[in-house]
Each structure stands twice: as structure tokens, then as C-alpha cells.
């Protein structure tokens, strides 16, 4: 089965429970969760029309038979089942699931970009991805670990979350 790497985030309600429930929903006959990263907390990314609370994030390694666009459809179903409702760009959400990588594929459609379009800019995504796949590289050969050394990434505050308490990363 192809391996996909997903980023899960939540900043509404019981954020930890939202992540755990989404991970459980990922387990189906067509997909199996191979690994889950530690949970980290980070400030929202992007300018918003209203204040947005901090996120909890994790990464998941997923074996799946679903092709990328079917995986996107399925993760969007999980988001809806987890209480995600439309707000504004980069607005708060009970659960958010992004496809970061899908094997070594590069996908560019109107609906989906793999590798994720902003993966190289987000410390929370890179940190959690490196937690479960420290030797992983992007399809262009760039090691994930090298991206973490970039000053624009290393300057972003990401803390490890332990059921409500956090410690600096």
C-alpha cells in the first residue's frame, strides 16, 4: 500500500479528543495508521479576520489503497464527522486534516497539492513529521530534517503537549 503522511490539527473544543477521534476514524479496511507523532501546540499561522486560539497538531503515517484525490475526499468526510464547519480562511476548526505527502508523488490539481503547498513554511508540520519519519525526504530529495534548520522555521514556537501541559521544543 502507498504511504501517506497527514497533518492533523484542532483548536476548538476538546482539542486532544478531536485529534484522537480523527486518528481512530482513519483506521478502516482501506487505510491503516502506522505511526502517530507526539502532539504539539502552536500558534495559528496566517492573518485572520478574528483571533484564533492555539492549535494542537500531530502527524500520522498512513498505509492506504486510496489514490490521492480519494484520500482527500475521505479526510474531508472525517473532518465533517469531527465537527468541522466552514468559517473563514485559517479560521478555527474542531479538526483539520492535510495531506502532506503521498509516497514520492507530486500532485498539482485545483483541489490538491502534494507535497502540501505550505509544508516548508510550518514548523508544527515539519516537527511532527520528523518525529515519525526522521529520515524522510520530500520528492525533490530535500530532507525534512534540513528544513527544520531554516531560521524561518526554527524561530516558530512549537511546544510538546502532554494532556494539557506543554514543554518547549
Q: Which residues are catalytic?
A: 84, 93, 96, 98
Beta bridge partners of 61: 5, 35
Is residue 125 within 8 Å of 57, Cβ to Cβ?
yes
Q: Which residues contact 10 (CB under 8 A, 6 or more apart)?
A: 16, 18, 19, 22, 55, 56, 93, 94, 95, 96
Task: Please return the burial class of 93, using the count of CB atoms within 10 Å of its CB with bins 0-12, 13-18 and 19+.
Answer: buried
Helices 15-26, 68-81: crossing angle, 10 deg rounding? 140
Amino acid at each position: 500500500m502507498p504511504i501517506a503522511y497527514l497533518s492533523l490539527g484542532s483548536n476548538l473544543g476538546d482539542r486532544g479528543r478531536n485529534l484522537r477521534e480523527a486518528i481512530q476514524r482513519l483506521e478502516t479496511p482501506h487505510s491503516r495508521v502506522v505511526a502517530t507523532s507526539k502532539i504539539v501546540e502552536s500558534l495559528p499561522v496566517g492573518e485572520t479576520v478574528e483571533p484564533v486560539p492555539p492549535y494542537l497538531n500531530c502527524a500520522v503515517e498512513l498505509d492506504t489503497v486510496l489514490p490521492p484525490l480519494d484520500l482527500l475526499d475521505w479526510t474531508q468526510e472525517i473532518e465533517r464527522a469531527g465537527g468541522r464547519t466552514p468559517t473563514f480562511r485559517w479560521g478555527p476548526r474542531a479538526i483539520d486534516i492535510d495531506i502532506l505527502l503521498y509516497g514520492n508523488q507530486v500532485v498539482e490539481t485545483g483541489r490538491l497539492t502534494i507535497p502540501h503547498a505550505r509544508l516548508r513554511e510550518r514548523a508544527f508540520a515539519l516537527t511532527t513529521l520528523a518525529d515519525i519519519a526522521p529520515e524522510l525526504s520530500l520528492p525533490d530529495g530535500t530532507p525534512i530534517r534540513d528544513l527544520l534548520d531554516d531560521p524561518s522555521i526554527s524561530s516558530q514556537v512549537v511546544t510538546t503537549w502532554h494532556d494539557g501541559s506543554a514543554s518547549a521544543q
